[in-house]
Chain A
Amino acid sequence: MEVTQVLLNAQSIDGAVRKNAEESLKQFQEQNLPGFLLLLSGELVNEEKPVETRKLAGLILKNALDAKDQQRKVELVQRWLLLDGNAKSQIKAGLLKTLSSPVSDARSTASQVIAKVAGIELPHKQWPELIGSLLSNVHQLPAHVKQATLETLGYLCEEVSPDVIDQDQVNKILTAVVQGISASEGNIDVRLAATRALYNALGFAQANFSNDMERDYLMRVVCEATQSPDVRIRQAAFECLVSISSTYYEKLAPYIQDIFNITAKAVREDEEPVALQAVEFWSSICDEETDILEEYGGEFTGDSNIPCFYFIKQAIPALVPMLLETLLKQEEDQDQDEGAWNIAMAGGTCLGLVARTVGDDIVPLVVPFIEENITKPDWRQREAATYAFGSILEGPSPEKLIPLVNVALTFMLTALTKDPNSHVKDTTAWTLGRIFEFLHGSAVDTPIITQANCQQIITVLLQSMKDTPNVAEKACGALYFLAQGYEDVGPSSPLTPFFQEIVQSLLTVTHREDARESRLRTAAYETLNEVVRCSTEETAPLVLQLVPVITLELHNTLEGQKLSSDEKEKQSELQGLLCGCLQVIIQKLGSSESTKYVFMQYADQIMGLFLKVFACRSATVHEEAMLAIGALAYAAGPDFAKYMPEFYRYLEMGLQNFEEYQVCAVTVGVVGDICRALEDKIVPYCDGIMTQLLKNLSSNQLHRSVKPPIFSCFGDIALAVGEYFEKYLMWAMSALQSAAELSTHTTGDDELIEYINTLRNGILEAYSGIFQGFKNSPKTQLLIPYAPHILQFLDGIYMEKDMDDVVMKTAIGVLGDLADTLGSHAASLIQQSVSSKDFLNECLSSEDLMIKESAEWAKLAITRAISV
């Protein structure tokens, strides 16, 4: 194969030529992988080849080593490890040689490929000489070799986990990198590459950061680099500081004053990319401190790893004024541009984080700024003042904020209608939303919305929904939180008189020509949903009137034929919003018998539409439609059976959707809904459903979060079909048993423990459903062989002492169900178990009522089982 020509063709503008070239590359790769990779590395190293083919060769090589998809990645790694050793050595030698190439693109490509190879080989103790040979390169004279080598070290640190490289080599890498950064290095490109490499190498410097002298030196070099004449180096140096702020928070105390001075200067004087990093340093410190404070509730005790140093609290007298200054540097059209990110936005965001970190202390530092600027003729000052106000609404106590809000509310409402500047109105509407989010609702003692101002607030918000899309979207958001605050207001809501008008306005918004801008239409439907969710019985007839309206809208989306892919996406998005809205309505109306009865007259029509929505797609099902069908099944009860013949194939499709695991999880939930609705009428569909669920469990492609609901679903099915579950018993039990064994013991971080508890809960719900399903059937004895294992599982998780309340409740319930269903057959086993004694007693004296209730049930069932 003439590889150069093929690689050139692969970049041709002519689609046919390109396709042809790609095809022959693919073919060659399939026929002879080592030969193919060798050829590519040969192309990359060859100085006589055009730069574009060298780059592409390197890129293909890189893609042969790594992929975004986890499964694929594992395959590629395996493939490389099994590749012929000679070919690999040649490829690697070529890559290293390319680092000395005069062509910068070739060097840079080789850097990345080397790092990928290192990422695979170093953990397997292969290529041990790599780091040594890179380090010897650093001492070579040509600057471009040095630069490429440092870049490679940087990529390498990004690819490889720190525990793979021993401390001696880490020290040498850090030394080389730090030497590259320091002022004694004359070449700017080398310094830049070294600074960027340090960013990735910081994760390796744990030991070095524990040594005072080495840490001082590292910090000095980084701080000096923030003063470099080259803006890219300054930016990279600040990135290092940001990374240090989260990785080595607890080591920062001696340097924090200096860092403040450096960042303040950068925020005020430096170019924006640098200033943004300087602000990010403080945002990151806020993140660290709120995490620490949330975790330990402010009480630092001996067993927490990292104490809070209260850097933010100490810094606010200087930090807050600095951030307030940034608020005045807005860009004209930042609210229309979704991708915008500038110093004013970063500063405002940081101010909000500071407020969350320090609470009340921030209020007196910000109020004078608001007062001074909020009435100024320059829109920048009014907007900055409003943004500052909005930013501090989360964190400080309601007692501190409510007096301010009471004064500001009228002003805000006026600004939202009258301010000539759209930017100010946008921020004002957002601030109103924040006021309602944090200071309105049953949790706040003194209401800020009263009979006196409610009418005005709603009028202003509905008025603003006619404003520009970005302002209208924020107004919808404010209304969302306004409605949410009345969620548990009782039988009569202050919104009732306005309900019709609010719904009408929101529907009007959804029909605006520009409703797709600034995600306005989404916001309008979301607000409509919240208004419906939080409505009371008084307005049920009005919610019922919404059904034909939304149904018609959904019907209209089905009209279009032969849509382009863009139109299809729009259609699908709109269908999602409408199905979501119907779901909320169904759930609302289904929750009371009287409204459910009236609603059900629409059920056939709605279900027909959902099925048509499914039919719009060929390969996947619409998650929102699936969620809505779950709600419909719940409302319809046994009547849902008539939809099953047509719906079943979509149910199956949803269960098979591994890629969009949310869809799969939602569908599993819907199976549960249908089980409860149909009870034994689900039997004809059980074979297919159980087969698919078992397949899902044994797949390693399925996202782990879907597995617990699948187990719960076994319980739902067993409870619905009773002894008919016998068919699946062995399979279900074997899957449950192996999962139970895996989830008995937990070692890992909080996230894993949380997952394990979810998994346990799913397993236990399955056992409960199965026992209850077989109860009173002549086939109860089929369960006896499983009892020892289940009791062992209960004892096991009890002894681990790390289950949460939900698991505790479900677990003790299973003990009861087991005793109830098996009775005397399990008596001796139950009596031998720890669960029937210590665990049961612990639950009986629990303060959690749900646990107690389940425990009492278990006690009753056990007493009965052992008394016979």
Chain B
Amino acid sequence: MAPHDLRRPFKRAAISDQQKRRELSLLRQAQNRRDAQQQARCLASSILSLQSSAPESETEQPSIDIETVSETEHESEALSKDLDVGRASKLRGPEVRKWFARQLMLPEWMIDVPDRLSQDWYVFARPAGKRCFVVSSNGTTVSRQRNGSILHHFPSALPAGSKTRDGSGSAQSYCILDCIFHESDQTYYVIDMVCWNGYPLYDCTAEFRFYWLNSKLEESGACNAPSHHLKFRFSTVPVYNCDQSGLYAAYTGVVPYVKDGLLFYNKHAHYQTGNTPLVLVWKDENCSQYVIDTDGKGEIPSQQQVVLELQDDRKLVTSDDPPVSFGCLDGDIIEKSGLQSGILLRFAIGDGGLSFVDGKLEKADLIYLGKSNRARAFADSYSKVIFQFMVRNSPLKVDDLLASINSPDDQEKTPSDIEMAG
């Protein structure tokens, strides 16, 4: 160890002229910025004082107001939702389960092919496994399944996901990822990013969320090979533009996980909790082992089964918002079985099947089976019931999807010039 240098500045000014020039430049820039802003404000404030002395009614058109007020309300809802994320990390017990159960964005089933598939949509192969929310906060990571129950409690490389020396597990930062836990390689496949490092992405488009997901997740080190300390690996999934080659790649491409259908994301859609038509799931035998729903024993029942919620007015409804009614339950059964409204009930679809008028469900031949499994948190969605029904009757095939991309309808709908031949 060499002796330590103790030289001090000798006959020197404390600050160099260059540093002074820099500082003066910054000062000038700050002053100019203030001036520019001040100018903008002065302009506005003179307009304001003029206007506020004018009669109120002339200043703005009321119709515009009405429209935007509703938007504002919508946004303040979004705000309280964002706040909840912070608060939710402090919730305990059953509350937390309920809260998380409501936070997932749930795809509708694809029962017809949306327009502009190739322009506005992404597609990727959905990993088979347990859909869950992964939340990192306060130095730990918890994964919760759709019904809110905890799957794993573990340290991760996500921000705030493990106790680290630099104390990055502060209460301010947390992440919420929408994942599928894939059992065989013990990997969390991240299919969407809801909050990253304290920053909520609810109100961002899928395009942005996927971009952020791909850059941030890798950066965090969460995708690294598992270690003794960090047991579970995270991984992204390959996302394609839903053009012909993208769809084909998602459908046939080799991925390190077992596929369970394809997910379609509308690029402009925000992360919206609950069922949304802007995310769609589709499957066939080639890309999923579970095309037709199985029963509790893993066998395909001879008749399609559905789970519906019983309402006050005895109506049996789906989990959609607004709910779709499949009919009414007989008052006898309600009384005999002591059923209360809100309960989830299981039915089979009888030979009468489902009948539609103008694309709307008209009648369903329901056979009451009993109460649903207690682990269920939601009734089936309308699109799920219909998809299952279609699978058993006239399925939507991959060729239909490819064909719709190719069809001229799906090209840019700009009218082309027509030459008059006379």
Contact = CB atoms under 8 A, between A and B. Distances in A.
Interface of A: 82, 123, 151, 154-155, 158, 196-197, 199-200, 235-236, 239, 242, 273, 276-277, 280, 283, 341, 345-346, 348-349, 426-427, 430, 437, 474, 477, 480, 522, 525-526, 529-530, 576, 580, 583-584, 587, 624, 627, 630-631, 634, 662, 666, 669, 672-673, 676, 698, 709, 712, 715-716, 719, 730, 734, 737-738, 741-742, 744-745, 765, 768-769, 772, 775, 781, 784-785, 787-789, 792, 813, 816-817, 820, 823-826, 828-829, 857, 860-861, 863-864, 867-868
B208 A730 contact: yes
A239 B52 contact: no
B342 to A, nearest CB: 32
Contacts of A765: 33, 37
Given A430-B11, A857-B41, A860-B48, 16 more contacts: A273-B3, A283-B8, A341-B6, A346-B8, A437-B13, A580-B18, A583-B25, A716-B36, A719-B36, A730-B208, A745-B172, A781-B68, A817-B41, A820-B44, A820-B45, A857-B45
A788 B75 contact: yes
B10 interface: yes
B56 interface: yes
Interface residues of B, number: 57
A627 B21 contact: yes
A820 B41 contact: yes
Interface string B185-210: 00000000000011100011100100
Contact of B17 (A437, A580, A820): A580
Nearest to B80: A788
B78 A788 contact: yes
A199 B1 contact: yes
8 tightest A-B contacts by CB? A788-B79, A526-B17, A738-B199, A772-B40, A341-B7, A196-B1, A280-B6, A430-B11
B48 A820 contact: yes
B22 A666 contact: yes
A816 B172 contact: no
B45 A829 contact: no
Nearest to B34: A850
B22 A772 contact: no
Interface string B59-86: 1100001001101100110110011000
Interface in B295-316: none
Contacts of A236: 3
B164 to A, nearest CB: 10
B245 interface: no
B51 to A, nearest CB: 7
Contacts of B28: 587, 631, 634
A427 B11 CA distance: 8
A530 B15 CA distance: 13
B17 A530 contact: yes
B65 to A, nearest CB: 6
Nearest to A861: B48
11 contacts: A82-B227, A155-B1, A346-B8, A580-B17, A587-B28, A634-B28, A742-B198, A772-B44, A775-B40, A788-B78, A860-B45
Contact of A789 (B40, B59, B60, B82): B82
A860 B46 CA distance: 10
A525 B21 CA distance: 12
A348 B11 CA distance: 10
Contact of A631 (B10, B25, B48): B25
Contacts of A824: 60, 65, 68-69
B151 interface: no
Nearest to A123: B165
A587 B75 CA distance: 47
A867 B21 contact: no
Contacts of A199: 1, 4
Nearest to B52: A864
A235 B3 contact: yes
B25 A239 contact: no
Contacts of B22: 627, 662, 666
A485 B296 CA distance: 90
A785 B68 contact: no
Contacts of A742: 172, 198
Nearest to A868: B60
Interface in B345-384: none
Contact of A673 (B32, B37, B203): B32
Nearest to B199: A738
Contact of A715 (B4, B24, B33, B204): B33
Interface of B: 1, 3-4, 6-8, 10-11, 13, 16-18, 21-22, 24-26, 28-29, 32-33, 36-37, 40-41, 44-45, 48-49, 51-52, 56, 59-60, 65, 68-69, 71-72, 75-76, 78-79, 82-83, 165, 172, 197-199, 203-205, 208, 212, 215, 227
Given A829-B76, A864-B48, A738 B198 contact: yes
Contacts of A530: 17
Contact of A154 (B1, B21, B36, B59): B1
Given A669-B26, A745-B172, A861-B45, A349 B10 contact: yes
Contact of A868 (B24, B45, B49, B59): B59
A863 B204 contact: no
B48 A828 contact: no
A789 B204 CA distance: 14
Nearest to B86: A741
A741 B172 contact: yes
Given A742-B198, A864-B51, A772 B79 contact: no
B6 A825 contact: no
Given A580-B18, A785-B75, A864-B51, A769 B37 contact: yes
Given A676-B36, A781-B71, A863-B52, A737 B199 contact: yes
Contact of B56 (A529, A624, A817, A868): A868
Contact of B25 (A529, A627, A817): A627
Given A239-B3, A430-B11, A867 B52 contact: yes
A666 B75 contact: no
B75 A784 contact: yes
A738 B173 CA distance: 10
B419 to A, nearest CB: 37
Given A676-B36, A772-B41, A583 B79 contact: no
B204 A734 contact: yes
Nearest to A429: B11
Contacts of B165: 123
A789 B41 CA distance: 22
Contacts of B172: 741-742, 744-745
Nearest to A679: B36
Contacts of B72: 784, 825-826, 828-829
B37 A813 contact: yes
A157 B227 CA distance: 30
A634 B8 CA distance: 39
Contacts of B17: 522, 525-526, 529-530, 580
A580 B29 contact: no
B32 A676 contact: yes
B203 A785 contact: yes
Contacts of B8: 283, 346, 349
Given A627-B21, A672-B33, A813 B60 contact: no
Given A630-B29, A860-B45, A741 B199 contact: yes
Contacts of B205: 730
A835 to B, nearest CB: 15
B41 A816 contact: yes
Contacts of B16: 526
A705 B78 CA distance: 33
A860 B28 CA distance: 28
Nearest to B35: A676
A446 B169 CA distance: 59
A115 to B, nearest CB: 11
Contacts of B40: 719, 772, 775
Contacts of B208: 730, 734
Contact of B49 (A437, A624, A860): A860
